[in-house]
Amino acid sequence: MRIIRHQQQPYPDSLREQEGMVADILNGAEAPVLILTEHPPVFTIGTSGNDTDVLNREIDGESIDVFATGRGGEVTYHGPGQLVCYVLADLNNDKDLHRHVWRLEEMIMCTLADFGIESVRSERGIGVWVGSNKIAAVGVRCRKWITFHGIALNIRPNLKHFSGIVPCGMSDAPVTSMHAQGVRAERKNAEDTIIRHAEELFR
């Protein structure tokens, strides 16, 4: 598995990077690839979302960009303190997108378990939950069975920023983070743990 780490990227730059890598994989480049990054504050709207789920574009005096994207899902937030894990995988030999999403969730659930946080899947929707609070949101896209986008883990983002949206279309689904759960994890430690589990799950 190829690992790429960025300290921070504007969301459009990240999307262009992934689009280029999808083209490379279709042309024979090796997959899978795991990109680990953060974004400046941004609300992203998936193919099932719309502008009405963006409630407020300025929170705590900070203006938050809005970007329509081609990933699946509804509206979510990305920002500092949230580790975004983009997995570009070739599913042509295993055409099961649900299985791919399961692996993304499993990667985060195993990581959280290593930090002493018990997490679950929920019938309410894809992603990773701690009790009734979502700690990691999933949004993926697949082109000719090459996946991109991925899963975002809340380590210590500004949780107030989530109040500007209806997250994943659920107004009664509060979010949480590792720090809110009392685990003062740092990004480097979380990254190292995620990489270990990713290399086991995505081959």
Residues with a catalytic annotation lie at 168
H runs (alpha helix) in 56-140: 97-114
User: How far, in Å, are 12, 26, 32, 70, 163 from residue 16 at the CA level?
Assistant: 6, 16, 17, 12, 28
Nearest to 150 by CA among 99, 101, 92: 101
The type of residue at 50 is N
CA distance 13 to 66: 14
Residues 18/88, Cβ–Cβ less than 8 Å: yes
- The two tokens of residue 79 are 């920002």
CA distance 152 to 77: 9
